[in-house]
Amino acid sequence: MSVTTLVFDAYGTLFDIAAPARRAAATRPDLAPIWPKLSEDWRRKQLEYTWLRSITGAYADFAQVTADALDWAMEAQHLTDPALRRDLLALYDALDAFPEVPETLRLMTSRGLHLAILSNGTPAMLASAQAAAGLTGLIDTTLSVESVRIYKPHASVYALVEAQIGAPPHEVLFVSSNGWDIAGAARFGFRTAWVNRSAAPQDRLPDGPLHEIPDLTHLPRLIV
């Protein structure tokens, strides 16, 4: 059975999550030596908090999780400026897309595929990010964990694809830059493509990617 539906993770796959700290550092010399660590800690705690909240049943939406993670990351770097916090959160709502994303999405649409986002982000966050990155109109369906109130890689999140789009798992190619997300999607039954932008080792998890690509320019060759 051929692929009919491409489902993309959003953060780190379509959108550059390092952009907020990097852009803030461009106008704040004090951030220049620390912004990579600030960004790394922010992302790490953001993911950890989604997993811990899922395990403990203490759901909070992704906007709250993102703010909480930033607070931790800023404190770790001894940053206490409320204006910087506001600026970073605003920049997170206006993320850059990776350079190849718009043209790749257009090409996939021209092949008759249904394009969807499946993300931990809230609907408002995802709409804002798509608008800021110029992707509005290139994605057919945007799915958020808000409707099930638990985070990836819980199976109920991946089940949203068939429930809301009608595509059975074997017709879906799930695309993500996160190895743990790929593992969850593969275990659910999706075909998977891991976007390994940093040439990282593959996660030691039971279900690995069907495909591994360095960026989305390689995606078209996977659709046959």
- The rounded Cα 101 to chain-centroid distance in angstroms is 13
What is the pTM for the complete model shown? Answer: 0.96
The confidence score (pLDDT) of residue 29 equals 93
Q: Considering only the C-alpha atoms of the chain, give the largest distance between any 2 of them, rounded to a whole number of Å.
A: 54
DSSP structural state of residue 150:
-
Sheet strands (E) in the chain: 5-8, 114-119, 141-144, 172-176, 191-195, 211-213
DSSP structural state of residue 152:
T
The confidence score (pLDDT) of residue 219 equals 97
If residue 47 lies in a helix (H) or strand (E), which one and from where to where? helix 35-56
Q: What is the pLDDT along the chain (224 residues), one digit of tens a residue?
A: 699 999 999 999 999 999 999 999 999 999 999 999 999 999 999 999 999 999 999 999 999 999 999 999 999 999 999 999 999 999 999 999 999 999 999 999 999 999 999 999 999 999 999 999 999 999 999 999 999 999 999 999 999 999 999 999 999 999 999 999 999 999 999 999 999 999 999 999 999 999 999 999 999 999 87
Cα separation values, 124 from 64, 133, 223, Å: 13, 14, 31
Pairing label, strands 5-8, 172-176: parallel
Catalytic residue among 9, 16, 41, 93: 9
If residue 196 lies in a helix (H) or strand (E), which one and from where to where? none
Sheet strands (E) in 94-159: 114-119, 141-144
Residue appearing with tokens 């819980």:
154
What are the chain's domains?
5-15+95-222 (3.40.50.1000), 19-92 (1.10.150.240)
Cα separation values, 194 from 14, 58, 102, Å: 12, 29, 18
Determine the Cα–Cα distance for residues 152 and 54; give it in Å rounded to an integer: 9
User: 9 catalytic, yes or no?
Assistant: yes
Q: Count of CB atoms within 10 A of residue 82's CB?
A: 8
The confidence score (pLDDT) of residue 1 equals 61
